[in-house]
Copies of this chain bind each other. A is one copy, B any other.
Amino acid sequence: MPAPPLLPDPTLLAGGAAGPRALRPLLDTVLTALAEGAAARCGPLPAGGPEAVTRRLLERCGPALPAHGTGAHDALHSLVGALAEGAADPADPHCAAHLHCPPLAVAAAADLAAAALNPSLDSWDQAPAASALERHLTSALAELVHPEGPAPDALVTSGGTEANLLGLLLARERLGPALRIICGANAHHSVHRAAWLLGLPAPTVLPTPRGILDPAAVADALAGLDALRCTTAAPAPALVVGTAGTTDAGAIDPLPALADTVAAHRDHRPTALHIDAAYGGPLLFSAAHRAKLTGLDRADSVTLDLHKLGWQPVAAGLLTVPETATLAPLGQRADYLNAEDDTEAGLPDLLGRSPRTTRRPDILKIAVTLRALGTTGLAALVDATCAAAAELAALIEAEPRLSLHSRPTISTVLFRPADATDEEVADIRRRLLTEGRAVLGRARARGADGRDTLWLKATLLNPHVQPGDLAALRKLVLDLSPPRPKGDQP
């Protein structure tokens, strides 16, 4: 064949020796567009609400499938600019609704290398060094969670949801399809979704009026399981799912008592314990906070998520286990990826390390972050974030027109205008969103008066937040609050 015509500029590749040269000017355009977008937005999110934001985006991005391209620089400039202008940016101190962290620049920069090299972790011959790096890091992280485990191991997941799914799946495979799941009303919705996906019965949900599981209620539920199954003499296997850092309040279930409860039932029925520490897990890095996770090491599987309190770009989830053999059910044979003779010849078999096949090396940004900061550096970020939440709670407490739900366990602060109705609380949140002033979350929780009400939720994840930012956030809410101080109640 004759040498084909050189393909045009936008088809330059990111990899190879020429990749860095191709990337450099494009990255300049991206950085310019990010800066312009942030300047145009000028706040935590764009004003105007969904319709206005969508309209502005569509004006800038044009047809989705144009016949003819506009070139790499125009495409990057217009679309990245539009995305930045229309972002809810967690790097803004007033963007604090969700477990949605502002990523570290060093982690985002590392992630570029993952995209450029594009290793895929389903076979060694697509990721020789990346797969070795993943093994190295996951072992160390698993040992951090399960220091006494016989053979700690961890899988990298697309987030807490996939890690919870794997926790349930591994329990189903180990204990059998009759598995019953017991969790609290405070558990993440992904536990329910995983049970549905896996074809398991819906979990038994225990009330958590104080925001955390009651181990006595768990014991009762375990004892009551057999009543559900009259067709067999064998006790139904069970998986207890606890949470270390609830989504609504950042609360941590009583882990040692849960582990004791599960251990006490193991004589009678096969019982396992999974802890969803997607949020709270990184407290392990902090000498000041790690005692809150005492008992975590006794779980049979643990969900972690470094795109929350670990400042990674999405995705950076993990499932850790104390014993690598429990991961065996994920093993799979596909001749093109892990033929037996290849495995015998020494090529590592990676296929059982994920329910996905093609898989990006999310471990790279985590590894770079840990080397850049060290565990003490990461602990400093954890401590600063928890301190900011304590500071916000103190500011709320000092303001008579606001009620604080409780002192934060991690970095979530629930508060509300005193005397506001639930509708008013929901409306304040939506007004702040629509006006582009703040991104706050919401959570239903029982207050000191014993009533279930709706609260505003500030999930602080920005370690650089300053006291002035928190005072300004409080003022934003106060300005929209009903004008009745606490003392004026009828």
Contact = CB atoms under 8 A, between A and B. Distances in A.
Given A72-B372, A355-B193, A16 B92 contact: yes
B132 A54 contact: yes
B13 A87 contact: no
Interface in A105-151: 105-120, 123-130, 132-133, 135-137, 139-141, 144
A58 B133 CA distance: 8
| Overall SS of chain A's interface | helix
A116 B69 contact: no
Contacts of A260: none
Interface stretch (A21-29, A223-231, A481-489): A21-29
A380 interface: yes
A2 B275 CA distance: 36
B126 A83 contact: no
Interface string A267-285: 0000000000000000000
A125 B106 contact: no
A135 to B, nearest CB: 8
A118 B106 contact: no
A248 to B, nearest CB: 6
A46 interface: yes
Contact of A29 (B66, B109, B132, B442): B109
A132 B368 contact: no
Given A128-B45, A140-B64, A161 B91 contact: no
Given A68-B374, A112-B111, A355 B33 contact: no
A29 B112 CA distance: 11
B91 A124 contact: no
B98 A123 contact: yes
Interface in A350-384: 355-361, 364-365, 367-377, 380-381, 384
Given A31-B23, A313-B114, A336 B86 contact: no
B370 A64 contact: yes
Contacts of A71: 372
Nearest to A374: B69
A10 to B, nearest CB: 4
Interface in A133-180: 133, 135-137, 139-141, 144, 158-162, 169, 177
Contacts of A218: none
Interface stretch (A73-81, A234-242, A399-407, A472-480): A73-81
Contacts of A38: 15-17, 19-20
16 contacts: A13-B102, A50-B346, A53-B128, A61-B371, A64-B136, A66-B374, A69-B377, A75-B110, A86-B128, A89-B117, A98-B123, A99-B358, A100-B126, A112-B112, A159-B356, A199-B200
Which of A342, A357, A426 has the most chain B CB atoms closer than 10 A to its own CB?
A: A357
